[in-house]
Amino acid sequence: MDARLPFARAPALPERRGADAPAARARAQALADAAVRALRDEARLSPKPALVDARGSGAHADLDLARMLRSAQALRRPFADMAQAAARARPDAGLREELARIGRVAEQRMLLATEGSNAHRGAIWALGLLLGARALLGEAASAAATCATAARIARHPDRAHRDSGTSHGAHVARRFGARGARGQACAGFPHVLRCGLPMLRGRRADGARAEHARLDALMSIMAELDDTCLLHRGGEPALRAAQLGARRVLELGGAATAAGHAALLDLDRDLLARRASPGGSADLLAASLFLDAVTAA
C-alpha cells in the first residue's frame, strides 16, 4: 500500500441486461457494499501499527485516511460488476480473466481517487476473488467454501497479465521466498480462515467491542503471515519484529487490556521507526471483515 503509480482515466464498465437484471444487480450491489464497508472499517480502525488509521498516515507518506476512504468508495462499482460476472459463471479460467479485467478497471479508479497512490491493489485482488466466489456459491456459502472456491479461481492463469518480474512482490519472492498475495489466494486464504476470522468471531462472542476484536484479528494475522509489504520495506528484521510484537499483544490479553494496548503502541513505534508497515496483513483483515459479514460460520 505504498507505491505512487501512474494513472489515467478509468474506462466505464458496461451496463448488464437480462430478465433478472434488477434482482441480480441488487444481490451484486449488496456484496459490493459489504466489500467497501470492510475496506472502510479496516482503514478507520485505530491504533494500527504503522498503518494508515484515524491517527494519521503511519509509515505511508503518500496516503492518509481520506485517500483510503475515497479509494474504497471508488471500488463499489467494479466490485458489483465482479459479483454479477461471477453469479452466472463457473470457477474456471474464463471467470479468472473476467475478474482480472474488471480488477484492472478497479485499479484505475483507485488511482484516480487517490491521485496516484496505491491504497488497495492487494485488497482488490483478495476481495475480488472472495466476492466472486461468494456470488457464485450463493447466500448459504460458508467461509471455508468461499475461500476454497476463490482458490480454484485464482489458480487459473490470466493470459492478459504480463509480469515483468520487477514488481515489489516479485522482488520479495526472489529474495525471501515469500509467497505473497497470489500464494495466499491459491492456498485458499489460510491466514484469513485460521487466524483473522476465528479471532474476530471468537473475541466478539466473548463480548469484546468491535474495535478490539478487529485489532486482535489483525494481530493474529500479523503474528503468522510472511507479510511481503514488511519484507519489502524492512526485510526480515522488520518481519520478525512485527510477528513477535503481534504475538506479545495477544499473549498480554489483546487490545482490550491495558498491557496488550501498551504492547500494541510499542509495536507501532517500532515499525514506524523502521518505516515498515504490514500492508498485506491489513488486506487480509479486510478480507476477514468481508467474510464475517457475508458468510455462515
Quick check: 7 and 112 in contact, CB under 8 A? yes
Residue 10 in domain:
no
Q: Is 180 helix (H, G, I), strand (E, B) or coil?
A: helix
Residue 19 has pLDDT above 50, yes or no: no
Count other Cβ atoms within 10 Å, centred on residue 228.
26
Residue 209 in domain:
yes
| 277 or 180, which is more confident | 277
The DSSP element (H or E) to which 208 belongs, if any, is: none
Q: pLDDT tens digit string along 233-251? A: 899 999 999 999 999 999 9
Q: Is 206 helix (H, G, I), strand (E, B) or coil?
A: coil
Total count of domains within the chain? 1
| CA–CA distance, 261 with 158 (Å, rounded to integer) | 43
Residue 259 in domain:
yes
Q: How far is CA 62 from CA 65, 66, 227, 273, in A?
A: 11, 11, 20, 17
Residue 188 in domain:
yes
| CA–CA distance, 145 with 295 (Å, rounded to integer) | 9
Amino acid at 198: P
Residue 170 in domain:
no
Residue 73 in domain:
yes
Q: pLDDT tens digit string along 143-195? A: 999 999 999 999 999 887 766 555 666 667 667 666 788 999 999 999 999 99
Q: pLDDT tens digit string along 96-146? A: 999 999 999 999 999 999 999 999 999 999 999 999 999 999 999 999 999
- Domain span at residue 121 reads 21-159+177-294
pLDDT recorded at residue 41? 98
